[in-house]
Structures are given as structure tokens and as C-alpha cells.
Chains A and B, each alone.
Chain A
Amino acid sequence: MDKLKLIIKREFLAKVKNKSFIIMTILSPLLMVGLMMLIIFLNQKNSEEVRTVVFVDESNLLASVFTDSNSTKYIDLSALGIDEARKQTEGNYYGILYIPKTDSLVNLSKGIAFYSEDTPSLNLLSSIENKLEKKIRNLKIEQLNFDVDKIKATETTVEIATENFVGEKSSKIGSILRMATGGGFGYLIFMFIIIYGTSVMRSVIEEKTSRIIEIIISSVKPFQLMLGKILGNALAGVLQFIIWMISAGLLLFAITYIFGIEAASSGSAIGQMNPEMMQQVQTSSATELQLALQEIKNLPILTMFFSFIIYFIGGYLIYSSIYAAIGAAVDSETDTQQFMMPVLMPLIIAIYVGFSVIENPHGPIALAFSLFPLTSPIVMLMRIPFGVPWWQILTSMFLLIITFIAIVWFAAKIYRVGILMYGKKPTYKELYKWLKY
């Protein structure tokens, strides 16, 4: 036990003292925050920019639509005629909207054109289209001698409240929440396995190429060394994630403190593009928010937490021992290619399946892949927020543990033989033979 502790300590320190680890740990949150700041900054710049749009309304029916907003100003050059107006616009304004003269309202919507130097912003176009559509519709209603207000009163929005049979309310925001937490956990495990599994493999290869391995295993059992390596690297990984979480949190806090107000206002500027929609959202958002809070409370948080820990440990141990065995089997990192594909395959499939699982969390594919131990750590975690029967979780965990024991046993055998083999590029047949040594 003491020796295992020594090994874990060395592996942990070797990893943590590594320059690239330090740089990655410090730089990543800075990069992330920097990126966020850049996005906020650009967003602000974007919304600060005021576009001036010229319009020429030959129909004389639609000019009233064009009222200035924070981001768009309108100039009426209908008096100049389209040709002259175009000349004036070029180089001075963002673009020019042309509404041709028509004989009837039916044709009014046809032939409206927008000229600009560059491709115009889609948001701007759709907002203008919206305005025009509404106005033309109202004009048509008036022409038919209907009362516009009365017609407006007939408009209805329907919100279907969803509720499961037990009586818990669910909402769209709720299912988004489930997707986010499930997907987030699954993705976290995926990243962790790939980053730290590879790091275990590198560390094994390093011991092999530096030829210290035989000295070490004359003092400790190869299995102890392998386990120590896997655990030491995992601890370094956990430390890194904790540092990331804390520093990202701190930096975000600092940023919202410094830029908070502006960030919020830029947020509303985005919303402004479609004020009507915003209003709809706002009226329903109060209840939605309550529902979402309710949803968070309804999430199987305890189950999620414990299953995250179990699947995290199980998945990481399974994959990192496979990585360790691969590292032991080869002489250099370039030789690892042929073995890496079969290892990455189930992980990638799990992520793909995981995202389709979110659409249909209780379908047969979801069930199968959340039981299969090489994909279950990712897929099951994505499913759990949607509520998974206990027997499925337990079966999946049982299979995971059985597989974990079997794979660690196999990996340890390959590792034990592999670390002392030099110069031969191993084949699968060779590896199979090693199992019997």
C-alpha cells in the first residue's frame, strides 16, 4: 500500500510539474474567458453600429412602417426617385430599399428590392420583411372593410403544458436542462478519458523508452505500477478540472462585475430585433422560469451525482488501463496508431449515440448503448436526467464493474509482458500470446 502511495505521488507530481500541464491549466481558463470577452465585445460593437437605410416608396403606402430604432435609422428619399436615390446612397448609407409603384395591394408585395454594397445583414432584412408583411396585411384587411383591432383580438398563442403521469410538470426548458446536464456530464467523461488516458499511455511509453521500467518492477509489482500511474494521472486531471472550474468561475464573476451592465444591455439589444417575439417570451417566461426552477428540483440530482462518480471511475479505469496496455505493447508513440482506433471507436459512437439519445431517451438504441459497458459511462449519464428505471442503472453498473475487472486483468497481463519487450512491433496475435505467459 505504501508503495502504491509512493507511485501515485510520483506520477501525480511528474504530471503536475510538467510545463505543458502548468501552461494548459493556467492558459485554458484565460483563453476561454478571453474568448467570451471577445464575443461580448464584438456583440457590443455590432449593436453600437447604427445602420442608415434609405428607402424609396413609390407606392406611398408603406413609409409609415419605417420608424427609427437604436440600431437602424431610415431616410425617406422617395422624392428623388430610385435612380437618383441609389446614386446618393452608394458609399454614404448602408443600403436602399425600393418599393415599386403598383396598381393593387395584391401586387404590392412583389418587386420590393434592397440594394447594398455588401450582402445585407439577414437580421435587418427579416425585420424589414416582418414590418412590411404586417403593414400590407393590415392594409388588405382594411380594404376588405374589416376592423383591424377585432381581427387582432382573434390572434391566439397556444402553450401546451406538458405533465407526466405522476403529475410532475415538465417544460421545454426542463428538457433543455436535462439535455444540457446529461450531455455535459457525458462529454466531460469523454474528454477526461481521452486526455488522461493518453497521458497514462505516454507515461508508460516514457518508462519503457527510458529503460527505467525494469528497475522499478524489481521493487514493485507491475500491477501496482500500472494502478499507481492510472490513479496519479487521474488525480492530476481532477486537480486540473477543479482549478479550471474555480478560475473560470472567478474570472466570469470578475467580468460580469466589470462589464456586467453593458453585457446585459447588449443582451437586450439582441432581443430587440424582434420585439413582438420578445414580448411573447416575456409573458410566458415568468411561468417558464418557475417551471424551470421546479425542473431543477425535480432532476434526479442525487442519482445523477452518484452515477456520475461511478461511471466516471469505471469508465476512466477501463479505458486508461487499455491505454496503459497499449503503451506497454509499443516502443514509441508512433506505433500506437493501429491500437488507438478500436479504443476511440466506442467512445466516439457513444457520443454520437448520446446526442440521439437525448431526442429519444428511452428507445431501444438508448437502452442498448447505456447497458453496453464501453459506451454506458457516456450514454447512461446522458439518459439519467430523463429518468431511468433502477433496474437499468443497476444492470448497467453491474456490467460496467464486471467488464472493468476483466479489462483491468487483461490489460495488466499485457502490460506485465509488454513493458519488458523491446524492438518488436506487436500484432494482435502477439498480444493474445502474451495473455498466456
Chain B
Amino acid sequence: MNTILTVENVCKNYGSFTALNNVSISVPKGSVFGLLGPNGAGKTSLIRIINQITLQDSGTIFLDGEPLKPQHVHQIGYLPEERGLYKSMKVGEQALYLAQLKGLSKSDAKKKLKYWFEKFEIGDWWDKKIQELSKGMAQKVQFIVTVMHAPKLLIFDEPFSGFDPINANLIKDEILKLRDEGASIIFSTHRMESVEELCDYIALINKSNKILDGKLSEIKQKFKTNQFEVGLISNEKEQLLAELNEHYKTEKSISSQLADELRLIITLNNGDTSKDLIRFLNNKAQLNHFTEIIPSANDIFLKAVANNG
């Protein structure tokens, strides 16, 4: 088995509202899987079904090859988007309680918590109440509570909201470390720059339907538009541009350019390769910049959502 989680044809309706329409995804083991989509697309509904908070109307879910069972909650760690802790309970007691609810024995939970508290250098918070901590501090506790029982599958819903950049980085590194140690991670967000940094695979959900999924690198390949950004040094820019326009579709690049440089985005003709383009350009002028434009996750997201209407 090399998928940790398989979701097959899951549907969920709330009254007459369809939250999930026949959604299937599979999350490979040891990867970071980005679950993307605009607000209200159905991400949280899907995550809640995986966590057995709500039940799907139809469809099946497998965790590590087995149909999802109540005991499986012990193997899942979930950091919800709407999160908080008991305000008047002490940090340590609270973490112990939540760990025990996840199936850890009291002594095990204590050991694990000690490890994490030391790692995050928050050992002296044990007897503090949550209401005495800042929001960022509380988020750290929240993160520990999510991961301390060493689950096979971790689900983070907008994990970076509420963190300052330094702590966000710390958490990001921890997430990647957990992946390297063998955990699989579902990462739900609509902040695309973090997708770029973290995700190996993505699935895009829009209006209750999955509209796209796969390996991020392959999706990027698929969404490539065969466009190249080129920089040409020439004294007669106008004439050069006219000549190029006869053969290729061009547009002005928005990126900064040198004084005597012509920066363009050129779309390849059908059947041409980049080699043909380079040869052509070399004959016309001095080529000092040549890169293929690879769509960002953000571009893919916007495009896919727009196509989906």
C-alpha cells in the first residue's frame, strides 16, 4: 500500500445544499497533500468526514487500506481552522486530557508532552492557563496537541493563520520534518505561496466538486502554456519587434529590463520546440535572457477555478 488515505466517491448534502459531490482523492504515504479550494468549496466538509466528525451520505474512505473505523481517530491528528483550547484550564492538564482522548496512556502522554514542550522551549508554561498566553503561544500548544500522539495522518486546516512569520516558519519546518519521519500530511489552505513551498501533491475542490488533482510538478507541466520570457539586446527594438510579431505571438513582459533590452513573452508556435525559438532569436539579436514560464500554484488555482465556471 502506498496510499495512506483513499476517498472514493464521497457525497455529502446538508438539506438541499450539496457540500461534496462525488469527490475522490488519494493521499500517497509520506507526502504533503494540498487540499485547495476557494472558501465554501467543501474542503472543511471533506476534512470533517475524514475525521469522522460528520458522516458522508455515500462513498467510502480507506485509511491505510482499511475502511475508516471509529478507532482510526487515534491515528489521525487534526488541527481545525476554527481552533481553541479551554481558557481556564492549565496548559499541561489540557494537553494531557486531549492526549488521553487520542488514546495515549497517561504516562505515555506525559513523556511525549515533555519532549514537545522542551523542543518548543515552553516547558515553563505547564501550569499556566490558556487565557494567560498570547494567541501565538496558544497556537504552539495547539500544534503540539495535534501531533503529540504521532499519528500516521496529519490534517492541518490553515495551520499558519495566527502565527507570526518566525513561528510560521518553525511550524513549517516541523511539518516537513514530520513528513520526513514518515507521517502523511493533508494541508488545506487557500494561501498559495505556502502550497508552492510544502506540497508534493494537490487536489483542487471548487463548488463541491474535485476539479483537479495529482502531483504538483505534473500539474504544472500540464498547465504549462509554452511561453518563454526572453531578453534581446538590440539597437533597433521597434524593427525587431515587428519582425518577431510576424512569426510569433508576443507580449511585453512586466518584469524589469535593461536599457537596451527588449523583454518579451513569446508563445511557441504549434509543433515548435524551445530549440527552434532559440535558433530563431539568435539569428536576429543577442539573446541574454531565456526562461520558460512555469505556472505558479496561484495561476493554476485561478485558472482551474475560472475554467470550472
Using a CB–CB cutoff of 8 Å, the interface residues on chain A facing chain B are 3, 6-7, 10, 14, 18, 206-207, 210-212, 214-222, 416, 420, 422, 433, 436-437
**Is the pair A217, B53 in contact by a Cβ cutoff of 8 Å?**
yes
Given contacts A214-B53, A215-B145, A218-B78, A3 and B101 within 8 Å (CB-CB): yes
Which among B54, B84, B97, B100 is the interface contact of A211 at CB below 8 angstroms?
A: B84
Given the complex, which residues of A lie within 8 Å of B83, measured CB to CB? 211-212, 214-215
**Is the pair A211, B82 in contact by a Cβ cutoff of 8 Å?**
yes
**Is the pair A436, B15 in contact by a Cβ cutoff of 8 Å?**
yes
Closest partner residue, chain B, to A14 (CB atom): B89
Q: B263 within 8 Å of A by Cβ?
A: no
Instruction: Give Cα A220 to B78, complex, Å.
Output: 13
**Is the pair B53, A420 in contact by a Cβ cutoff of 8 Å?**
yes
**Is the pair A214, B101 in contact by a Cβ cutoff of 8 Å?**
no
Given the complex, which residues of B lie within 8 Å of A436, measured CB to CB? 15
**Is the pair A437, B80 in contact by a Cβ cutoff of 8 Å?**
no
Given the complex, which residues of B lie within 8 Å of A416, measured CB to CB? 54
Instruction: Give Cα A14 to B129, complex, Å.
Output: 13
Given contacts A214-B80, A420-B53, A219 and B102 within 8 Å (CB-CB): yes
Q: Tally chain B residues at the interface, Cβ within 8 Å.
A: 27
Given the complex, which residues of A lie within 8 Å of B145, measured CB to CB? 215
Q: B226 within 8 Å of A by Cβ?
A: no
* Least CB distance, A81 to chain B, in whole angstroms: 78
Q: B87 within 8 Å of A by Cβ?
A: yes
Instruction: Give Cα A197 to B246, complex, Å.
Output: 81
Q: By CB atoms of chain B within 10 A, which of A7, A210, A218 has the most?
A: A218
Q: B68 within 8 Å of A by Cβ?
A: no
* Least CB distance, A112 to chain B, in whole angstroms: 69
Binary A-proximity of B82-97 (CB < 8 A = 1, otherwise 0)? 1111111100000001
Closest partner residue, chain B, to A219 (CB atom): B101
Given the complex, which residues of A lie within 8 Å of B113, measured CB to CB? none
Closest partner residue, chain A, to B52 (CB atom): A218
**Is the pair B15, A212 in contact by a Cβ cutoff of 8 Å?**
no
Given the complex, which residues of B lie within 8 Å of A211, measured CB to CB? 80, 82-84
Given contacts A14-B89, A433-B15, A218 and B84 within 8 Å (CB-CB): no
Near A by CB (< 8 A), chain B positions 66-90 give 70, 73, 76, 78, 80, 82-89
Closest partner residue, chain B, to A416 (CB atom): B54
Closest partner residue, chain A, to B51 (CB atom): A218
**Is the pair B73, A212 in contact by a Cβ cutoff of 8 Å?**
no
**Is the pair A216, B15 in contact by a Cβ cutoff of 8 Å?**
no
